[in-house]
Structure 1
Amino acid sequence: MKAQQGNASKDRINEGFPGDIRTLRRYLGYYQTYYLSPSWPGTIVCSCAFLEEKNGLVVSKSLERISHHQWRIKKITKYNGKATFLRDRIFVVETESTGDPIVTQIILKPFQDQKDKYLRGLCTGISWRSNDVPYATRMIWRQLGSSPDKREMLKKCGILPQRSRRIAPTVKKYLVPPEGAEATVITS
């Protein structure tokens, strides 16, 4: 019991942030993000994210804009979080900025080389349209730099068919599984 009390005063989660901030600074800026969601089978969700340094931490802000006429859905969700660089990976932990706090975790692999514009990894969360079922899916972030055209970036957000010409081949190749394979793991 005494050992547990001693550990209770430490906040091990916060000790992990910002990790290697010098390396993490290379990844600051805006991103167009893409993932497969169990809420919209057969589609790719395109959102946007921003990583910036504040008071010695790297904070994240993400925006998901879902609009689908057929399903009569129009939803904007904002997320706030923190990022860290540990063990040669970028970890982003976010919660919705309004409503019930729901935690999403993203683990991204750094760029393969200097010409690469994509961070590839995995996102875990819960599906809001599928009764809060936990899931994990591949996610890919396309780097847009420190001052992109924000209107253009937001205009691209939404639900897109997996075969859409608006999705770069690099994104499709990473996200869309070969015929018969599963890309999103859903646990009930």
Structure 2
Amino acid sequence: MTEPHLARNLRALCNYTTSISDACRSMGINRQQFTKYLNGASRPSPRNMRRICDHFGVEEDELLVPHGRFAEMVALRPRARRLIRALGPAAPQIDRMFNQSADSLKPYCGYYFYYYHTPSRPGMIRRSLLRISEYKGIFYTRLNERIQPEESPLGRSHFVRYIGVAVFLDGRIFIIDHNARDLRSLSQTVLFTTQTGEIEVLTGMTLGVQGRTARAPFAARVFLEYLGPRTDTRAAMRRTGIFGAEGADPPRHVSRMLASNGTEPQMLTALELPV
């Protein structure tokens, strides 16, 4: 007798196929034998179990969980499979990037003040709060920006959150994120990593789109001040916003970098050509 939930979970997976016969041909499993699995009369051999898992994109232990929980899990899988198909041959390469960067990114988990010259207020510096965290081998980012009353059309302070993922490739940290609320654009940040082993300041470049109506692309240098693996987030958020060069009051080394406008431009903005 097979496990109580296996047959029912297999039948649920078959609802996502064009036909059971097609699935059997793809897996290389005899249709009559697979029917026994669906009826609970037989348990797949280890080899056939692997074929089933590979075909449907599940793990063996997932196939054995109670059916209600399994149904919730697989309901999300078709979208993931469509994304994997869209990535095509890039999918395994991207997966390898995440796996290979795991150990290198762990020391960079924690909180940072994120500084850059904002394109919406020329000459002003925006300070935001960035967190890099890890969950099941994937590194996620969360960037919180405080919009002050003078920036808001409604004249009141509020927060904007950007969420994304980070990978470590060839001595650089790559972050791709998006506005968690409106999904109107993607942003990318590339950071130089520390050479000394002690994280204090990270520098790099961000590429994004202005939040104003014009939605103009821009690129700006960024400077990250490491706050530690933990911090008082409420106190840190109170220090975020847009400031003049003096009002931001960053550490001296960050202040020097932010003020170095001389030979190297801090920001590039795109101009839309008239039609």
| CA deviations over 1:125-171 (Å, ceiling 9, x no partner) | 01112611111100011111122121221111000102336222222
Of residues 13-22 and 26-35 in structure 1, the stretch that sits farther from structure 2 once superposed is 13-22
What is the TM-score with the length of structure 2 in the denominator? Answer: 0.61
Tell me, which stretches of 5 or more residues in structure 2 are unaligned?
1-84
Aligned: 1:8 with 2:88: yes
Of residues 35-44 and 18-27 in structure 1, the stretch that sits farther from structure 2 once superposed is 18-27
**Residues of 2 paired with 1:187 and 1:44: CA distance?**
19
Of residues 5-14 and 20-29 in structure 1, the stretch that sits farther from structure 2 once superposed is 5-14
Q: How does 1:142-153 map to 2 (within 5 A)?
A: 142-153=225-236
Aligned: 1:59 with 2:137: no
Instruction: Give the AA of the match of 1:85.
Output: F
Cα distance change on mapping 1:187 and 1:13 into 2, 3 Å: farther
Instruction: Give the AA of the match of 2:208.
Output: G
| CA deviations over 1:38-61 (Å, ceiling 9, x no partner) | 111111000001111111100111
2:98 match: secondary structure = coil
Aligned: 1:121 with 2:204: yes
Higher radius of gyration, 1 or 2: 2
Cα distance change on mapping 1:42 and 1:24 into 2, 3 Å: same
**Residue among 25, 33, 49 paired with 2:106:** 25
2:122 match: secondary structure = coil
| CA deviations over 1:16-59 (Å, ceiling 9, x no partner) | 33542111101001111101111111110000011111111001
Structure-1 residue corresponding to 2:185: 102
Tell me, which stretches of 5 or more residues in structure 1 are unaligned?
none
Instruction: Answer whether contact 2:108 2:199 (CA < 8 A) is retained.
Output: no
Cα distance change on mapping 1:169 and 1:85 into 2, 3 Å: same
Higher helix share: 2
Aligned: 1:167 with 2:250: yes
Cα distance change on mapping 1:115 and 1:11 into 2, 3 Å: closer
2:157 match: secondary structure = strand
1:38 match: secondary structure = coil
**Residues of 1 paired with 2:234 and 2:184: CA distance?**
28
**Residue among 126, 132, 139 paired with 1:45:** 126
Aligned-residue CA RMSD (Å): 2.5
More relative contact order in 1 or in 2 (CA 8 Å, sep 6+)? Answer: 1
What is the TM-score with the length of structure 1 in the denominator? Answer: 0.86
**Residues of 2 paired with 1:136 and 1:13: CA distance?**
27
Aligned: 1:36 with 2:117: yes
Instruction: Give the AA of the match of 2:108.
Output: Y
Instruction: Answer whether contact 1:89 1:107 (CA < 8 A) is retained.
Output: yes
Higher strand share: 1
Of residues 83-92 and 167-176 in structure 1, the stretch that sits farther from structure 2 once superposed is 167-176
**Residues of 2 paired with 1:61 and 1:164: CA distance?**
24
**Residues of 2 paired with 1:135 and 1:125: CA distance?**
6
| CA deviations over 1:76-122 (Å, ceiling 9, x no partner) | 21011000000100111101101133111000011232445111100
List structure 1 segments (4+ residues) > 6 angstroms apart after TM superposition. none
**Residues of 1 paired with 2:93 and 2:176: CA distance?**
11
